[in-house]
Structure 1
Amino acid sequence: MSHAPIEPNWPARIAIALAALLALITALALAVTIGEMKISLSTAFQALGNGVLDLGYPVSAIQQGVIFDYRLSRALLAALCGGTLALSGAILQALLRNPLAEPYILGISAGASTGAVAVMILGFGGAVLTISGGAFIGAVVALLVVALLATGAGGSSDRVILAGVAGSQLFNAATATIVTTLANAEQARGVMFWLLGNFGGVRWPDVWVATPVALICFAVCMLHAKVLDAFAFGADAAASLGVAVTRVRIVLFATTAVMTATMVSIVGTVGFVGLVIPHAARFLVGPAHARLLPACLVIGAIFMILADILSRILVPQQILPIGVVTALFGAPAFALILYRARRPT
């Protein structure tokens, strides 16, 4: 007896999408109202109206600057950063078939940091190469180093993770060497704080740089959603289904490098987001990448906005580096994933 195919539960999907959008808006509203200066939600909306539409609401210049130029731009960049890092983690975990894969652990973030610091302190590239360009070159070099180490070690996904850890240490050492030997005291202090992740210097030009990168890279990832599902059975199985494995790997690895390098060049190194968020998203929406990738984008955005809020309020009169806050949540989750992924002996 044949059965008609089950139609997608569109009302439930629409309800979930609306709930996710509401959660994101709520997180943004909290980000612009919470801080050392107490600001009401109505004042925040008035400042937003003044900044976007020039409506002329009676908002003081200080409040207008704090809400629109500082907190809102910072919150939007945090959302873009969290979403793209989570997206990168989901892509790497699918391609490598390893639950521990993410840009931070694979050394991509460390390579991007080295490239950015080389441009900032050594002046590589002169006026031609920007910090973002240096970060991208560093991320690509890190990918190549990890691939070379992993190939020499056998190429399994576990070996790739170990190669990533080794590559990460290598590039962290290179960054530390540049900072300690060639930077002056002011440069060293700024770079070391930046390396821990910092949204303090974010302004609207940074948002305009990060937004098209996030949107274009997300579109590229979504175009490969079905292909990523095929990788769940291994590269050989994907190839047997007609997937151009080498081309897909190059495109998606390059996409993750672009996303990681862009965010690292703006805010510094932020760890564990690409590791934890994809697992949380899989728990909520399942493994199918057509649903998983948008979920990673939204959940990563909300997580990073909330983490940024915590970085501003956990210690009075002081702002913690965002990397410290994400590590406080990510390290225990990393330990849990390691425990659950262990193999019986």
Structure 2
Amino acid sequence: MVGLLVAGLLATVTAAVAIGPVPLPAHRVWQIIFAQIVGGEGDWSAAQANIVLMLRLPRVLLAAMVGAGLAAVGVTMQAVVRNPMADPYILGISSGASVGAVSVLGLGWLAFAGVFAVSLGAFAGAMLALLIVYLVAHAGGTISPLRLVLAGMACSYTLSGLTSLIVLTSPDRELARQAMEWILGSLAGASWSDLGVPAAVLALGTGLLLLRARALNALMVGDETAATLGIEVTQVRRTLFLLASLLTGVMVAVSGAIGFVGLVIPHIVRMLVGTDHRRVLPVAVLGGAIFLIWVDVGARMLFAPVELPVGVITALIGGPFFVYMLATQRVRRKESLS
């Protein structure tokens, strides 16, 4: 399945770059890319080359990275808290990032960072939320799934209120629109300079998570069973918590808060390949990349020339899917009791 998904990802990238107000043939897309890599010229115009290399390809690659990262975090968090309905934002990371981003937009902080100010502020806010949740969840000396979820929820509600306070008390009436666009998530304006950090963190984070696949399998069964298998439960949960938070913080910083990717994709993947994380993680990473690329295509094409925030479409897909998950869980529970 991994091979098929890799082929599907390449086809998806090709189609997403080709689709737009100025459509391009698929072979022309790759001609321009190869010419950029190895050098040479072709019979395409400078405008076509700019469309591929400067506008669409960076955006498509960023969508793939964000989708892959959020899916990997969703898989991890569902194992860490033993809940199939957990997602990357359960730890309050998204709310922290929103506070950081809105603080930059409304209060002018980090102006020295120029165009990277919002992303830097979002990452700083995400890491602040990580620190708060970690300290609260670790107050008893261990990190239990229940304490982790409750700490994340409390942090999320508090920071969401702080975001609203900054927006409502700001004299800048444009801030509400800017904050809403960021909170709903967008990949518009992506450039090559946006790709380096997410690519490095995604490669490192998913690699480390794959090395912990056995521990993820054990945590899904339960802490006592994991301990009998030689897993240091508290230490492993702490490591996975930090990895998931770092991945989430970086992805949210470059794209805004795009919801439901980390909820929908891992659930579908487990229905297809089972619960072994040695298979679940790579399939979820590739599936998340493909999913978010197509969502972004829909965001920029469905109501063209108006572009929707990506988070609007993921919410329209993920909300009904979440209801379906709740309904099927209730049916399974009734069947198991009868």
Aligned-pair CA distance for 1:212: 0.4
1:196-236: per-residue Cα shift (whole Å, max 9, x none)? Answer: 11111211111112110100001110111111111122123
The alignment status of 1:333 with 2:321, answered yes or no, reads yes
Q: 1:271 aligns to what SS in structure 2?
A: coil
Change beyond 3 A, Cα 1:253–1:45: same
Task: Find the counterpart in structure 2 of residue 301 from structure 1.
Answer: 289
Contact 1:73 1:207 in 2 (8 A): yes
| Seq. identity, % | 41
Q: Are 2:43 and 1:55 aligned?
A: no
In 2, Cα distance between equivalents of 1:117 and 1:253:
25
Deviation at 1:75, TM superposition (A): 0.5
Q: Is the 8 A contact 2:5 2:286 kept in 1?
A: yes
Deviates more, 1:271-280 or 1:237-246: 237-246
Describe the superposition over 1:109-160 as per-residue Cα deviations: whole angstroms up to 9, x where unpaired: 12222223334443556758965554344334434555677789xx875675
- 1:172 is aligned to 160
C-alpha distance in 1, partners of 2:50/2:179?
Answer: 26
Gaps of 5+ in 2: none
Matched, 1:196 2:181: no
User: How far apart, CA to CA, are the structure 2 residues paired with 1:326 and 1:79?
Assistant: 14
Q: Report whether the alignment pairs 1:139 with 2:121.
A: no
**Does the 8 Å CA contact 1:93/1:99 hold for their aligned counterparts?**
yes
Q: Which residue does 1:320 correspond to in 2?
A: 308
Which residue number corresponds to residue 251 of structure 1?
A: 239
CA RMSD of aligned residues (A): 2.6
1:181 pairs with one of 169, 180, 185: 169
Alignment CA distance shift 1:319-1:125 (3 Å): closer
Give the counterpart letter for 1:104 in structure 2: Y
- Selected match of 2:63 from 66, 70, 78: 78
2:275 counterpart residue number? 287
Q: 2:225 aligns to what?
A: 237
SS for the counterpart of 2:8 is: helix
In 2, the alpha carbon distance for the partners of 1:141 and 1:190 equals 22
> Contact 2:81/2:149 (CA < 8 Å) preserved in 1?
no
TM (normalized to structure 2)? 0.88
- Give the count of matched residue pairs: 329
Question: In 2, distance between residues paired with 1:79 and 1:232?
Answer: 27
Q: Which region of structure 1 is more displaced relative to structure 2, 236-245 or 134-143? A: 134-143
- Contact between 1:100 and 1:161, CA under 8 Å: does it hold in 2? no
Q: Confirm or deny: 8 A CA contact 2:55 2:191 kept in the other structure.
A: yes
The match for 1:5 is none
Gaps of 5+ in 1: 1-15
TM-score normalised by the chain length of structure 1: 0.86
Residue identity opposite 1:88 in structure 2: V
Query: Whole-Å Cα distance in 1 between the matches of residues 199 and 187 of structure 2?
Result: 15
Correspondence for 1:95 among 80, 83, 101: 80
Partner amino acid, structure 2, of 1:34: I
**CA 1:340 to 1:139, structure 2 compared with 1: closer, same or farther past 3 Å?**
farther
* Matched residue, 2:264: 276
Give, in angstroms, the shift of residue 274 of structure 1: 0.5
1:220 maps to 208
- Deviates further, 267-276 or 257-266: 257-266
2:52 maps to what in 1?
Answer: 67
2:298 to 310, 319, 322: 310
Residue 21 of structure 1 corresponds to 6
Describe the SS at the equivalent of 1:336: helix
Match of 2:17 among 15, 32, 37: 32
CA contact under 8 A between 2:123 and 2:252: conserved in structure 1? no
SS at match of 1:307: helix
